[in-house]
Amino acid sequence: MKTILAISVVAMISFQIVNGDQVVKDTPKTQQDSESQSNQQDKQTDATQSEQLTTSEAEKHVERALQLDEKFKVRYDGAEPSQSEYEGENMALIQVYETNEHATATYGWYYIDMDNGDLYKYTIATNEITKKYELNEQGEYQKVE
């Protein structure tokens, strides 16, 4: 069975998925835009309801928890925790680093729980993940001793 994706540009843009000779979907651009906006609103509603962090928000949370100054940069680097005890958890790996004209120096690696904002230090040499900060109900980070 062969599937072909065809996009036709005329006065009105159409999107067709053709399966053999049968048209599966033919949607005008205006309807696609409407569906796209509806899908985006649904995603925003889902994110609000679950309060899950985006990668951009996760980076900002790391900056705030570590009280980083402007010389440091943060970068999302993936979402696979290195320890099996955290497997399946909704965590993102964030690199904290600084750069100059000669090199990039990594300050540290951190996992952030995308569901509750808790921050964990990741030690590459020992492959250990240790909880360092908890996000309280007031939205402030507290160091875990």
**pLDDT (average), residues 20-34:** 42
Q: What is the pLDDT of residues 77-96, one digit of tens each?
A: 988 787 788 888 899 999 99
Given a contact cutoff of 8 angstroms between Cβ atoms, the answer to whether 81 and 87 are in contact is yes
pTM over 0.85: no
pLDDT computed for residue 43 by the predictor: 44
**pLDDT (average), residues 39-68:** 73
Kindly state the percentage of the chain with pLDDT values over 70.
66
pLDDT at 33 over 80: no
Give residues with Cβ within 8 angstroms of 16, minimum separation 6. Answer: 5, 6, 7, 8, 23, 24, 25, 26
pLDDT at 31 over 90: no
